[in-house]
Amino acid sequence: MMESLKTLSLLKDQRLSVRRHPDSTIRRQSHLLRLSLAHANSYIPFYRKIWSEAGVVLSTINSINDLKRLPIITADQFRAATQRGETLATSVEAGEGQRFSTGGSTGIPLEVRRGSVEARLWRTAGLSMQLEHGFSWSDTTVQFDVAPHQPHPLQKLGIAPSIWIDPKLPIEVQMDLLLQAKPSVIHGHVTVLRAMAKALIDRSCQLHNPLTIFSVAELLDKDSRDTIRAGFGVDPTDVYGMTEVGFIAWQCEVHQQMHVNAELVIVEILGEDGPAQPGELGRVVVTDLRGRTMPAIRYDTGDLARASEPCVCGRSLPSIGPLEGRARQAIVRPDGSTITPLGIMNHLSSSLRTGEYCLQRISEHQFLLRITSQGLFPGKNAHEICQELEDWLGGCEVKAEIVTGFPKGLKTHSVVDLRNSLSPLPDNEGCMSTAEKQ
Ligand SMILES: [Zn+2]
Protein backbone atom coordinates (compact mmCIF):
# COMPACT_ATOMS: atom_id res chain seq x y z
CA MET A 1 0.00 0.00 0.00
CA MET A 2 2.73 2.44 1.02
CA GLU A 3 4.71 1.55 -2.11
CA SER A 4 1.66 2.22 -4.32
CA LEU A 5 1.19 5.64 -2.69
CA LYS A 6 4.84 6.51 -3.30
CA THR A 7 4.49 5.40 -6.92
CA LEU A 8 1.37 7.52 -7.41
CA SER A 9 3.03 10.55 -5.80
CA LEU A 10 6.05 10.23 -8.07
CA LEU A 11 3.82 9.70 -11.09
CA LYS A 12 1.96 12.90 -10.20
CA ASP A 13 5.27 14.81 -9.99
CA GLN A 14 6.30 13.49 -13.38
CA ARG A 15 2.98 14.36 -14.96
CA LEU A 16 3.20 17.89 -13.57
CA SER A 17 6.77 18.29 -14.85
CA VAL A 18 5.69 17.83 -18.47
CA ARG A 19 4.07 21.27 -18.70
CA ARG A 20 5.91 23.16 -15.99
CA HIS A 21 7.26 26.62 -16.89
CA PRO A 22 10.97 26.32 -17.85
CA ASP A 23 11.98 28.62 -14.94
CA SER A 24 10.09 26.37 -12.52
CA THR A 25 11.78 23.33 -14.07
CA ILE A 26 15.19 24.88 -13.37
CA ARG A 27 14.23 25.59 -9.75
CA ARG A 28 12.80 22.09 -9.34
CA GLN A 29 15.84 20.39 -10.88
CA SER A 30 18.19 22.54 -8.78
CA HIS A 31 16.37 21.42 -5.63
CA LEU A 32 16.54 17.75 -6.65
CA LEU A 33 20.20 18.17 -7.62
CA ARG A 34 21.14 19.50 -4.19
CA LEU A 35 19.45 16.48 -2.56
CA SER A 36 21.16 14.08 -4.96
CA LEU A 37 24.61 15.57 -4.39
CA ALA A 38 24.21 15.61 -0.62
CA HIS A 39 23.24 11.94 -0.69
CA ALA A 40 26.14 11.00 -2.98
CA ASN A 41 28.62 12.92 -0.84
CA SER A 42 27.39 11.24 2.33
CA TYR A 43 27.02 7.67 1.13
CA ILE A 44 29.04 7.04 -2.02
CA PRO A 45 32.83 6.85 -1.60
CA PHE A 46 33.51 7.29 -5.32
CA TYR A 47 31.92 10.74 -5.54
CA ARG A 48 33.35 11.89 -2.21
CA LYS A 49 36.81 10.97 -3.51
CA ILE A 50 36.64 12.47 -7.03
CA TRP A 51 34.94 15.66 -5.86
CA SER A 52 37.51 16.10 -3.13
CA GLU A 53 40.34 15.56 -5.64
CA ALA A 54 38.73 18.10 -8.01
CA GLY A 55 38.44 20.67 -5.21
CA VAL A 56 34.65 20.76 -5.44
CA VAL A 57 32.92 22.64 -2.63
CA LEU A 58 29.41 21.23 -2.62
CA SER A 59 27.95 24.14 -0.69
CA THR A 60 28.65 26.34 -3.74
CA ILE A 61 26.57 24.14 -6.06
CA ASN A 62 23.08 25.49 -5.65
CA SER A 63 21.65 25.40 -9.13
CA ILE A 64 21.81 23.27 -12.26
CA ASN A 65 23.85 26.14 -13.72
CA ASP A 66 26.61 25.19 -11.25
CA LEU A 67 26.72 21.62 -12.51
CA LYS A 68 29.70 22.41 -14.74
CA ARG A 69 31.89 22.63 -11.64
CA LEU A 70 31.56 18.90 -11.09
CA PRO A 71 33.97 16.61 -12.95
CA ILE A 72 32.54 14.51 -15.78
CA ILE A 73 32.94 10.79 -15.18
CA THR A 74 33.46 8.26 -17.93
CA ALA A 75 31.89 4.82 -18.22
CA ASP A 76 35.33 3.22 -17.78
CA GLN A 77 35.97 5.26 -14.63
CA PHE A 78 32.54 4.33 -13.26
CA ARG A 79 33.08 0.66 -14.09
CA ALA A 80 36.49 0.55 -12.40
CA ALA A 81 35.08 2.26 -9.30
CA THR A 82 32.17 -0.20 -9.28
CA GLN A 83 34.59 -3.13 -9.36
CA ARG A 84 36.29 -1.61 -6.32
CA GLY A 85 32.89 -1.39 -4.63
CA GLU A 86 32.96 2.42 -4.45
CA THR A 87 29.82 3.35 -6.40
CA LEU A 88 27.25 1.53 -4.29
CA ALA A 89 25.72 3.66 -1.52
CA THR A 90 26.96 2.54 1.87
CA SER A 91 23.36 2.84 3.06
CA VAL A 92 22.46 -0.17 0.87
CA GLU A 93 22.41 -3.52 2.63
CA ALA A 94 24.49 -6.35 1.15
CA GLY A 95 22.36 -8.35 -1.25
CA GLU A 96 19.66 -5.66 -1.38
CA GLY A 97 18.12 -4.75 -4.72
CA GLN A 98 18.32 -6.26 -8.17
CA ARG A 99 21.46 -6.65 -10.25
CA PHE A 100 21.65 -5.82 -13.94
CA SER A 101 24.67 -6.36 -16.10
CA THR A 102 25.63 -4.18 -19.01
CA GLY A 103 28.49 -4.71 -21.48
CA GLY A 104 30.56 -1.91 -22.94
CA SER A 105 33.40 -0.87 -25.15
CA THR A 106 35.97 -2.89 -23.24
CA GLY A 107 33.76 -5.97 -23.07
CA ILE A 108 34.01 -5.85 -19.27
CA PRO A 109 30.53 -5.89 -17.82
CA LEU A 110 29.26 -3.23 -15.45
CA GLU A 111 27.02 -4.56 -12.73
CA VAL A 112 24.31 -2.05 -11.93
CA ARG A 113 22.34 -2.37 -8.69
CA ARG A 114 18.82 -1.05 -8.34
CA GLY A 115 16.80 -0.86 -5.19
CA SER A 116 13.11 -0.22 -4.62
CA VAL A 117 13.61 3.51 -5.32
CA GLU A 118 14.99 2.82 -8.79
CA ALA A 119 12.32 0.20 -9.53
CA ARG A 120 9.72 2.87 -8.77
CA LEU A 121 11.51 5.40 -10.98
CA TRP A 122 11.52 3.00 -13.94
CA ARG A 123 7.88 2.10 -13.46
CA THR A 124 6.60 5.66 -13.16
CA ALA A 125 8.78 6.95 -16.00
CA GLY A 126 7.36 4.26 -18.28
CA LEU A 127 3.79 4.98 -17.17
CA SER A 128 4.18 8.74 -17.50
CA MET A 129 5.50 8.34 -21.04
CA GLN A 130 2.61 6.03 -21.95
CA LEU A 131 0.02 8.36 -20.42
CA GLU A 132 1.41 11.21 -22.53
CA HIS A 133 0.64 9.00 -25.52
CA GLY A 134 -2.99 8.51 -24.57
CA PHE A 135 -2.66 5.30 -22.58
CA SER A 136 -5.59 4.33 -20.37
CA TRP A 137 -5.59 1.85 -17.49
CA SER A 138 -7.66 -0.67 -19.42
CA ASP A 139 -5.15 -0.80 -22.29
CA THR A 140 -3.12 -3.95 -22.86
CA THR A 141 0.64 -3.64 -23.29
CA VAL A 142 2.86 -6.15 -25.08
CA GLN A 143 6.51 -6.33 -24.10
CA PHE A 144 8.91 -8.11 -26.42
CA ASP A 145 11.82 -9.21 -24.29
CA VAL A 146 13.83 -12.33 -23.49
CA ALA A 147 12.94 -12.17 -19.80
CA PRO A 148 9.51 -11.44 -18.38
CA HIS A 149 9.20 -8.50 -16.01
CA GLN A 150 7.66 -8.76 -12.57
CA PRO A 151 4.02 -7.67 -12.88
CA HIS A 152 2.82 -4.98 -10.51
CA PRO A 153 0.14 -6.24 -8.06
CA LEU A 154 -2.43 -4.01 -9.79
CA GLN A 155 -1.67 -5.72 -13.11
CA LYS A 156 -2.60 -9.03 -11.53
CA LEU A 157 -6.01 -7.46 -10.88
CA GLY A 158 -6.43 -6.66 -14.57
CA ILE A 159 -5.40 -3.01 -14.41
CA ALA A 160 -3.05 -2.03 -17.25
CA PRO A 161 -2.50 -5.70 -18.22
CA SER A 162 0.86 -6.51 -19.75
CA ILE A 163 1.73 -9.51 -21.90
CA TRP A 164 5.27 -10.69 -22.41
CA ILE A 165 6.44 -12.21 -25.71
CA ASP A 166 9.85 -13.80 -26.00
CA PRO A 167 11.47 -12.54 -29.25
CA LYS A 168 13.49 -15.76 -29.45
CA LEU A 169 10.33 -17.72 -30.22
CA PRO A 170 9.67 -18.53 -33.90
CA ILE A 171 8.29 -15.43 -35.62
CA GLU A 172 4.99 -17.19 -36.44
CA VAL A 173 4.43 -17.97 -32.76
CA GLN A 174 5.28 -14.40 -31.78
CA MET A 175 2.87 -13.07 -34.38
CA ASP A 176 0.02 -15.32 -33.17
CA LEU A 177 0.58 -14.16 -29.59
CA LEU A 178 0.67 -10.54 -30.70
CA LEU A 179 -2.53 -10.80 -32.74
CA GLN A 180 -4.33 -12.56 -29.87
CA ALA A 181 -3.21 -9.91 -27.37
CA LYS A 182 -4.74 -7.01 -29.36
CA PRO A 183 -2.42 -4.57 -27.57
CA SER A 184 -2.80 -0.82 -27.49
CA VAL A 185 0.86 -0.36 -26.56
CA ILE A 186 3.89 -2.34 -27.75
CA HIS A 187 7.47 -2.13 -26.46
CA GLY A 188 10.45 -3.73 -28.15
CA HIS A 189 13.95 -3.40 -29.51
CA VAL A 190 14.05 -1.83 -32.97
CA THR A 191 15.41 -5.09 -34.43
CA VAL A 192 12.57 -7.13 -32.94
CA LEU A 193 9.90 -4.66 -34.06
CA ARG A 194 11.38 -4.51 -37.56
CA ALA A 195 11.31 -8.30 -37.88
CA MET A 196 7.71 -8.41 -36.67
CA ALA A 197 6.70 -5.62 -39.04
CA LYS A 198 8.17 -7.55 -41.99
CA ALA A 199 6.34 -10.70 -40.91
CA LEU A 200 3.03 -8.80 -40.65
CA ILE A 201 3.57 -7.33 -44.13
CA ASP A 202 4.59 -10.70 -45.64
CA ARG A 203 1.48 -12.43 -44.22
CA SER A 204 -0.82 -9.46 -44.99
CA CYS A 205 -1.82 -9.39 -41.31
CA GLN A 206 -3.20 -6.28 -39.71
CA LEU A 207 -2.86 -5.53 -36.04
CA HIS A 208 -5.90 -4.49 -34.06
CA ASN A 209 -5.60 -0.71 -33.79
CA PRO A 210 -2.35 -0.25 -31.81
CA LEU A 211 -2.00 3.12 -30.11
CA THR A 212 1.74 3.45 -29.67
CA ILE A 213 4.83 1.44 -30.57
CA PHE A 214 7.75 2.28 -28.28
CA SER A 215 11.11 1.37 -29.81
CA VAL A 216 13.95 1.07 -27.34
CA ALA A 217 17.60 0.16 -26.94
CA GLU A 218 18.76 0.87 -30.51
CA LEU A 219 19.00 3.68 -33.01
CA LEU A 220 15.73 4.24 -34.83
CA ASP A 221 16.97 4.82 -38.37
CA LYS A 222 14.87 5.85 -41.33
CA ASP A 223 14.57 2.37 -42.90
CA SER A 224 13.52 0.81 -39.58
CA ARG A 225 11.01 3.58 -38.93
CA ASP A 226 9.51 3.14 -42.42
CA THR A 227 9.32 -0.65 -42.04
CA ILE A 228 7.75 -0.52 -38.57
CA ARG A 229 5.22 2.09 -39.71
CA ALA A 230 4.32 -0.04 -42.74
CA GLY A 231 3.93 -3.22 -40.68
CA PHE A 232 2.13 -1.90 -37.60
CA GLY A 233 0.31 1.03 -39.18
CA VAL A 234 1.75 3.40 -36.55
CA ASP A 235 4.83 5.61 -36.56
CA PRO A 236 7.19 4.23 -33.86
CA THR A 237 8.06 6.34 -30.83
CA ASP A 238 11.74 6.45 -29.94
CA VAL A 239 12.74 6.05 -26.29
CA TYR A 240 16.20 6.68 -24.82
CA GLY A 241 17.16 4.81 -21.69
CA MET A 242 20.22 3.32 -20.04
CA THR A 243 20.60 0.53 -17.53
CA GLU A 244 22.73 2.87 -15.39
CA VAL A 245 20.18 5.68 -15.25
CA GLY A 246 16.74 4.58 -16.40
CA PHE A 247 14.47 6.30 -18.86
CA ILE A 248 16.17 9.47 -20.00
CA ALA A 249 14.00 10.83 -22.81
CA TRP A 250 11.13 9.95 -25.14
CA GLN A 251 9.47 11.19 -28.26
CA CYS A 252 5.98 12.64 -28.27
CA GLU A 253 3.41 12.20 -31.02
CA VAL A 254 5.37 14.65 -33.22
CA HIS A 255 8.19 12.05 -33.42
CA GLN A 256 11.00 14.58 -33.73
CA GLN A 257 12.81 15.81 -30.62
CA MET A 258 13.05 13.76 -27.44
CA HIS A 259 11.57 15.07 -24.20
CA VAL A 260 13.87 14.70 -21.22
CA ASN A 261 12.40 13.26 -18.02
CA ALA A 262 13.29 16.43 -16.11
CA GLU A 263 11.92 15.10 -12.85
CA LEU A 264 14.45 12.25 -12.94
CA VAL A 265 17.54 13.39 -14.82
CA ILE A 266 19.47 16.39 -16.08
CA VAL A 267 20.80 15.95 -19.61
CA GLU A 268 23.69 18.04 -20.94
CA ILE A 269 24.69 17.97 -24.61
CA LEU A 270 28.33 19.01 -24.56
CA GLY A 271 30.25 20.09 -27.66
CA GLU A 272 33.97 20.79 -27.93
CA ASP A 273 33.66 24.16 -26.18
CA GLY A 274 30.88 23.55 -23.70
CA PRO A 275 27.11 23.25 -24.04
CA ALA A 276 26.10 22.58 -27.65
CA GLN A 277 23.86 25.10 -29.40
CA PRO A 278 20.57 23.96 -30.97
CA GLY A 279 21.36 21.74 -33.95
CA GLU A 280 24.95 21.17 -32.81
CA LEU A 281 26.21 17.66 -32.08
CA GLY A 282 27.56 16.83 -28.65
CA ARG A 283 28.15 14.10 -26.09
CA VAL A 284 25.26 13.16 -23.86
CA VAL A 285 26.10 13.65 -20.18
CA VAL A 286 23.43 12.68 -17.65
CA THR A 287 22.93 13.35 -13.96
CA ASP A 288 20.63 11.17 -11.93
CA LEU A 289 18.38 13.30 -9.72
CA ARG A 290 16.53 10.62 -7.79
CA GLY A 291 18.49 7.36 -7.89
CA ARG A 292 19.94 6.57 -4.47
CA THR A 293 21.48 3.11 -4.84
CA MET A 294 24.15 3.69 -7.48
CA PRO A 295 23.48 7.09 -9.06
CA ALA A 296 25.35 8.36 -12.10
CA ILE A 297 26.29 12.01 -11.68
CA ARG A 298 27.69 13.94 -14.67
CA TYR A 299 28.07 10.60 -16.40
CA ASP A 300 29.35 10.64 -19.97
CA THR A 301 27.10 8.11 -21.66
CA GLY A 302 29.36 7.81 -24.71
CA ASP A 303 26.33 8.67 -26.87
CA LEU A 304 25.96 11.51 -29.34
CA ALA A 305 22.88 13.71 -29.82
CA ARG A 306 22.11 17.20 -31.04
CA ALA A 307 21.03 20.03 -28.79
CA SER A 308 17.51 21.02 -29.66
CA GLU A 309 14.97 23.83 -29.68
CA PRO A 310 11.75 23.18 -27.73
CA CYS A 311 9.34 20.77 -29.39
CA VAL A 312 6.37 22.20 -31.30
CA CYS A 313 3.94 20.04 -29.28
CA GLY A 314 3.93 22.56 -26.43
CA ARG A 315 5.37 20.30 -23.72
CA SER A 316 7.88 22.39 -21.81
CA LEU A 317 10.24 19.60 -20.80
CA PRO A 318 13.83 20.15 -21.97
CA SER A 319 14.36 18.64 -25.44
CA ILE A 320 17.25 16.92 -27.16
CA GLY A 321 17.57 15.61 -30.70
CA PRO A 322 17.24 11.89 -31.47
CA LEU A 323 20.15 9.72 -30.35
CA GLU A 324 22.78 9.56 -33.07
CA GLY A 325 24.83 6.61 -31.82
CA ARG A 326 28.02 5.90 -29.92
CA ALA A 327 30.74 8.53 -30.16
CA ARG A 328 33.40 5.85 -30.68
CA GLN A 329 31.59 4.59 -33.80
CA ALA A 330 31.37 8.07 -35.36
CA ILE A 331 33.55 9.00 -38.34
CA VAL A 332 35.43 12.28 -38.60
CA ARG A 333 35.84 13.36 -42.21
CA PRO A 334 38.98 15.06 -43.53
CA ASP A 335 37.21 18.44 -43.28
CA GLY A 336 36.68 17.86 -39.53
CA SER A 337 32.94 17.25 -39.72
CA THR A 338 31.52 14.25 -37.82
CA ILE A 339 29.28 11.60 -39.33
CA THR A 340 27.35 9.73 -36.70
CA PRO A 341 26.19 6.10 -36.88
CA LEU A 342 22.60 7.32 -37.34
CA GLY A 343 23.79 9.65 -40.12
CA ILE A 344 25.42 6.70 -41.91
CA MET A 345 22.36 4.49 -41.51
CA ASN A 346 20.01 7.16 -42.79
CA HIS A 347 22.39 7.89 -45.66
CA LEU A 348 22.33 4.22 -46.68
CA SER A 349 18.58 3.81 -46.15
CA SER A 350 17.79 4.47 -49.82
CA SER A 351 20.21 1.73 -50.94
CA LEU A 352 20.36 -0.92 -48.22
CA ARG A 353 17.93 -2.63 -45.87
CA THR A 354 18.78 -2.17 -42.20
CA GLY A 355 19.72 -5.46 -40.61
CA GLU A 356 21.12 -6.77 -43.90
CA TYR A 357 24.44 -4.88 -43.87
CA CYS A 358 27.27 -3.88 -41.55
CA LEU A 359 29.81 -1.15 -42.27
CA GLN A 360 32.98 -2.18 -40.44
CA ARG A 361 35.91 0.14 -39.89
CA ILE A 362 39.03 -1.99 -40.30
CA SER A 363 41.71 0.70 -40.01
CA GLU A 364 41.94 4.49 -40.05
CA HIS A 365 41.17 4.71 -43.77
CA GLN A 366 39.70 1.29 -44.59
CA PHE A 367 36.11 0.12 -44.35
CA LEU A 368 34.42 -3.15 -45.23
CA LEU A 369 30.76 -3.05 -46.21
CA ARG A 370 29.32 -6.49 -45.56
CA ILE A 371 25.95 -7.05 -47.23
CA THR A 372 23.62 -10.02 -47.46
CA SER A 373 22.07 -10.93 -50.80
CA GLN A 374 18.73 -9.52 -49.55
CA GLY A 375 20.34 -6.27 -48.43
CA LEU A 376 20.29 -4.33 -51.69
CA PHE A 377 17.23 -2.42 -52.79
CA PRO A 378 16.24 -3.07 -56.43
CA GLY A 379 18.46 -1.25 -58.92
CA LYS A 380 21.33 -0.81 -56.43
CA ASN A 381 24.71 -2.50 -56.62
CA ALA A 382 27.38 -2.91 -53.98
CA HIS A 383 30.23 -1.48 -56.05
CA GLU A 384 28.42 1.79 -56.69
CA ILE A 385 27.42 2.09 -53.02
CA CYS A 386 31.07 1.66 -51.98
CA GLN A 387 32.23 4.32 -54.44
CA GLU A 388 29.56 6.70 -53.25
CA LEU A 389 30.53 6.03 -49.61
CA GLU A 390 34.18 6.74 -50.39
CA ASP A 391 33.23 10.12 -51.85
CA TRP A 392 30.92 10.95 -48.95
CA LEU A 393 33.22 9.88 -46.11
CA GLY A 394 36.32 11.27 -47.86
CA GLY A 395 39.91 9.98 -47.86
CA CYS A 396 39.06 6.32 -47.34
CA GLU A 397 38.67 3.01 -49.12
CA VAL A 398 35.42 1.03 -48.89
CA LYS A 399 35.27 -2.56 -50.09
CA ALA A 400 32.16 -4.71 -50.30
CA GLU A 401 31.71 -8.30 -49.23
CA ILE A 402 28.57 -10.34 -49.81
CA VAL A 403 27.78 -12.54 -46.82
CA THR A 404 25.16 -15.20 -46.21
CA GLY A 405 23.75 -13.46 -43.15
CA PHE A 406 24.44 -12.01 -39.71
CA PRO A 407 23.97 -13.67 -36.33
CA LYS A 408 20.40 -13.19 -35.16
CA GLY A 409 20.18 -11.21 -31.96
CA LEU A 410 18.12 -8.60 -30.21
CA LYS A 411 20.22 -5.82 -31.68
CA THR A 412 21.48 -4.83 -35.10
CA HIS A 413 25.04 -3.61 -35.55
CA SER A 414 25.02 -1.55 -38.72
CA VAL A 415 28.14 0.54 -38.03
CA VAL A 416 31.06 -0.99 -36.15
CA ASP A 417 34.56 0.29 -35.44
CA LEU A 418 36.84 -2.74 -35.11
CA ARG A 419 40.06 -0.80 -34.43
CA ASN A 420 40.05 -0.58 -30.64
CA SER A 421 37.32 -2.91 -29.57
CA LEU A 422 37.96 -6.16 -27.77
CA SER A 423 34.30 -6.93 -28.19
CA PRO A 424 33.44 -6.00 -31.77
CA LEU A 425 29.75 -6.75 -31.56
CA PRO A 426 28.70 -5.94 -27.99
CA ASP A 427 25.09 -6.92 -27.51
CA ASN A 428 24.32 -4.61 -24.66
CA GLU A 429 26.03 -1.25 -24.52
CA GLY A 430 24.21 0.17 -21.57
CA CYS A 431 20.84 0.51 -23.27
CA MET A 432 17.99 -0.85 -21.29
CA SER A 433 16.07 -3.96 -21.80
CA THR A 434 12.32 -3.66 -22.24
CA ALA A 435 11.75 -6.03 -19.33
CA GLU A 436 13.27 -3.48 -17.00
CA LYS A 437 10.58 -0.93 -17.50
CA GLN A 438 7.58 -1.80 -15.40
ZN1 LIG B 1 6.89 17.12 -28.33
Distance from Cα 17 to the centre of ligand 1, integer Å: 14
Residue 260: closest CA among 251, 276, 249: 249
Residue 422 in any domain: the answer is: no
Say if residues 194 and 218 touch (Cβ distance below 8 Å): no
Q: Are residues 313 and 337 in the same domain?
A: no
If you write DSSP's letter for every residue of 400-416 in order, what string do you get? EEEES-----SS---EE
Separation of CA 344 from chain center:
18
Q: What spacing in Å lies between the alpha carbon of 317 and ligand 1's midpoint?
A: 9
Question: 29 with 141, same domain?
Answer: yes
How far apart (Å, rounded) are the C-alpha atoms in residues 232 and 207?
6
Q: Are residues 16 and 141 in the same domain?
A: yes
Whether residues 302 and 334 share a domain: the answer is no
On whether residue 1 sits in a domain, the answer given is yes
For residue 285, the surrounding DSSP H or E stretch is strand 281-288
Using alpha carbons, select from 421, 188, 229 the residue that is nearest to residue 326: 421
| pTM assigned to the model | 0.92
**How many Å lie between the centroid of ligand 1 and the Cα of residue 269?**
18
CATH number at 267 reads 3.40.50.12780
Please give the Cα distance from 176 to 273 (Å, whole number).
Answer: 52
Q: What total number of domains does the chain contain?
A: 2
Domain region containing 61: 1-327+430-438
Residues 341, 235 within the same domain = no
Q: Please give the average pLDDT of every successive group of 10 residues along the chain, which has 438 residues.
A: 84 93 97 98 97 96 96 95 95 83 69 89 92 93 84 74 94 96 95 97 89 94 97 96 94 96 97 95 98 97 96 96 95 95 97 97 96 95 96 96 90 90 44 36
CA distances from 351 to 150, 347, 356, 389 (A): 42, 8, 11, 11
Please give the pLDDT value at position 431.
35
The residues pairing with 351 across neighbouring beta strands, listed in sequence order, are: none
Residues 311, 390: one domain?
no
Tell whether 94 and 19 lie within a shared domain. yes
pLDDT for the residue 435: 34
- Predicted pLDDT at 218: 94
Residues 408 and 435 in one domain: no
Beta carbons within 10 angstroms of residue 13's beta carbon: 17
What's the pLDDT at 44?
97
Q: What's 390's domain CATH number?
A: 3.30.300.30
Q: How many angstroms does the Cα of residue 254 sit away from the middle of ligand 1?
A: 6
320 and 333 belong to one structural domain: no
